[in-house]
């Protein structure tokens, strides 16, 4: 479980909202013929302002929770080797999209000639990546047998 601290702007908003509502209620309740003393109206406004500030803070937490829920399915890079030179990014995206959302496809090319090097990487969610690796490793694609496994970062390859 991750704990997120609110930015100071939420507390500043709370410090602004509570007094504004307190002053408004101090003047509005008597105008509305409400049977409250001005002190009670002021207290009611302060409480309402504090409540609204808390609701705003909780709304911010819920948005943060949504972001972390989405990020739980971290993206994973999938290495695709023995790739036919005629295979395009769209072909790979279509092939891998059967197993989940494809975030990006990169086919590596030679720096000098700009010709494909025969391998690439597909970015997708971790769960979808594992399913794609199991299903596509060894599969024939454009006349070549694919080698599909989890992509390693440059740091991991040095080991």
In a domain, 24, yes or no: yes
Q: How many CB atoms lie within 10 A of CB 46?
A: 17
In a domain, 105, yes or no: yes
pTM higher than 0.85: no
CATH number at residue 114: 3.30.70.330
53, 71, 89 — which closes off a domain?
A: 71
Total domains, the chain: 2
Residue-level pLDDT, tens digit, the chain, 159 residues: 444 455 566 667 777 777 777 777 777 766 766 676 777 777 777 777 777 766 766 664 444 433 344 444 588 999 999 999 999 999 999 999 999 999 999 999 998 998 999 999 999 999 999 999 999 999 999 999 999 999 886 666 555
20, 51, 71 — which closes off a domain?
A: 71
**What whole-number distance in Å separates Cα of residue 36 and Cα of residue 30?**
7
Which 8-state DSSP code applies to residue 7? Answer: P
27, 45, 71 — which closes off a domain?
A: 71
Both tokens assigned to 149: 């496994």
- Region of 118 (left: φ > 0; alpha: ψ -120 to 50; beta: rest) is left
Query: Is residue 25 domain-shared with residue 61, that is, in the same domain?
Result: yes
Query: Is residue 29 domain-shared with residue 87, that is, in the same domain?
Result: no
Q: How many CB atoms lie within 10 A of CB 41?
A: 21
Query: Is residue 89 domain-shared with residue 128, that is, in the same domain?
Result: yes
Residue 58: domain span: 8-71
In a domain, 145, yes or no: yes
Question: 124 pairs with which residues across the strands?
Answer: 76, 102
Q: For residue 158, what is the enclosing H or E element?
A: none
Query: Is residue 110 domain-shared with residue 125, that is, in the same domain?
Result: yes
Query: Is residue 54 domain-shared with residue 112, that is, in the same domain?
Result: no
Phi then psi dihedrals of residue 70, to 5 deg = -70, -35
In a domain, 144, yes or no: yes
- Picking from 35, 8, 85, 109, the residue whose alpha carbon sits closest to that of residue 44 is 35
């Amino acid at each position: 479980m991750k704990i997120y601290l609110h930015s100071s702007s939420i507390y500043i908003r709370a410090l602004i909202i509570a007094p504004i509502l307190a002053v408004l209620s101090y003047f509005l309740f008597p105008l509305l013929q409400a049977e409250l003393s001005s002190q009670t109206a002021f207290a009611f406004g302060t409480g309402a302002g504090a409540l609204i500030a808390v609701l705003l803070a909780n709304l911010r937490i819920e948005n943060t929770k949504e972001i972390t829920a989405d990020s739980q399915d971290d993206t994973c890079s999938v290495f695709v080797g023995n790739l036919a030179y005629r295979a395009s990014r769209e072909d790979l995206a279509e092939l891998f999209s059967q197993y989940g959302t494809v975030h990006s496809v990169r086919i590596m090319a030679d720096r000098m000639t700009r010709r494909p090097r025969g391998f690439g990487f597909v970015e997708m969610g971790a769960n979808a990546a594992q399913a794609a690796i199991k299903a596509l490793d060894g599969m024939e694609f454009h006349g070549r047998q694919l080698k599909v496994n989890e992509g390693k970062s440059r740091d991991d390859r040095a080991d």
